[in-house]
Each structure stands twice: as structure tokens, then as C-alpha cells.
Amino acid sequence: MHTDRIETKKAQLADVWLSVLLLGSLWGFSEVVLGGILSAAGFPYRSALLTGVGMGLLAVCMAMFQSPLLLPVIALVAILCKQLVVPILHVSVMCKANSCLAVGLESLALSGVVTLGRRVVQRSALARIVAGAGAALLSAAAFYLVGPHVAPCQYLLSFAHKGGLPAFLIAEGLPWAVFSALLFPAGYWLGERLKQAAPVLKAKRPCVYYATNAVLITGSWLASAAAIAAGF
């Protein structure tokens, strides 16, 4: 019986890390492929939409596992996917420094917010809206303060002459917050349903369960690599 419990815990832990890898891969895919498409289309709220997508994917994890500590790990997977630019285009890791910083800060901000208000977020849809928006604003503020010391770009530095942090929060933080307020609750809703459906699928059709995860993970990385090679 003791051995069975150990094996069950090992299987559950493996499923957690598989989900983390999947969510991080999807986040990396959205940053590279969706981000490239939005940039090419001239979409004015590209960074805000990508922030919201990231918040939504992190919300899926929170709903399924209720572990804020997993959120930075998901961000790390996404960052590694974005850094495929290094071996493919033979550029410095600093090429995507600020966008990778934004991904990391987003996960840390949300991890802090949901740690402080986990029980409220579990019970209240309104709290999820506030959590998504609040984490986005926190990550925007942190990005403004840290970004110039990591990879100072002209756009970020220009806010020093436009009103500083308040101006940046109005121009960037508020759109990030709006998209996150929408997509964090949506991701949480999806995560609650996956929490119920995934174990059933795994028990009844394990081959389909693992094959689906493998296809999505592999496809995300291959598509991201292809997009980077194509100049996205």
C-alpha cells in the first residue's frame, strides 16, 4: 500500500510538470508566433494582448494546482522558447532581454498577488478580475524600473521625459491591466474544467492524453523556431 501511494504521488507530480511544460510552451508560442503576427499587422495593443494571454495561461495553472510557485517556472519555459532566437539567428541573449524580463516579472507579480489572496481568488470571479489587473499593473511598474538597467530601449527611456512611471502606467500598464482583467478569469475558468477533465481522459485514454500533450508541446517549439527563422 505504501509503495502504491508513492507511485501515485510520483505520477501526480509528473502530471504537474507536464502541465507546466505545456503551459510554458504555449506561452512561448504566443510570444513568438502571435507576437510576430500582431507586430506585422501593426496591432497597437500587442504587448497588452500578449500580457493578457500570459496571465490567462498562468491562471490555468493556478486553477488546476493552486501553487503560485509554479508560475515562475512556466515563465522560465516561455523565456527559453523565446531564446531560441540565440541558436537560430546567432544573436546575443540580450536581443530579447526586455521581452523576457517582462514575461518573468509578469509571473512573479501574479505569484505574489495570488499568494496574498489565494482563497479570495478561488471563491470570487471579481477577485480574479482584480488579481489579473493588479498583477499586470505591478509587473508594468517593475518593468519600467528594471528594464532600463537590463536593456535600455529608446521607447522605454522616452518616458523619462513624458512624466516617468505614471505616464508609463497610463500608456502601457492600463492596457496590460485591461487585457489581463479579461483573460485571467477566462484562463481560471478553463483551468477549473481541465482539472476535472484531464484525469478522466488520462484514466480512460492515456495514449490520447499523453499524445495530445506531446503534440502541443512539440508543435509550440517547432512553430516558434520556424517563426524565428522566418524573421518574426
Note the pLDDT of residue 103. Answer: 97
Note the pLDDT of residue 6. Answer: 60
Q: What is the mean pLDDT of each run of 10 residues along the chain (232 residues)?
A: 62 90 98 95 95 98 95 98 95 91 97 93 95 97 92 84 92 97 98 94 93 97 96 83
Note the pLDDT of residue 12. Answer: 81
CB atoms within 10 A of CB 214: 12
Q: How far apart are CA 34 and CA 86, in angstroms?
A: 19
Asked whether the whole model's pTM tops 0.85, one would answer yes
Burial class of 146 by CB neighbour count within 10 A (0 to 12, 13 to 18, 19+): middle
Q: How far apart are CA 175 and CA 191, in angstroms?
A: 24
- The one-letter code for the residue type at 149 is H
- The number of residues making up the chain comes to 232
Centroid of chain to Cα 39: 19
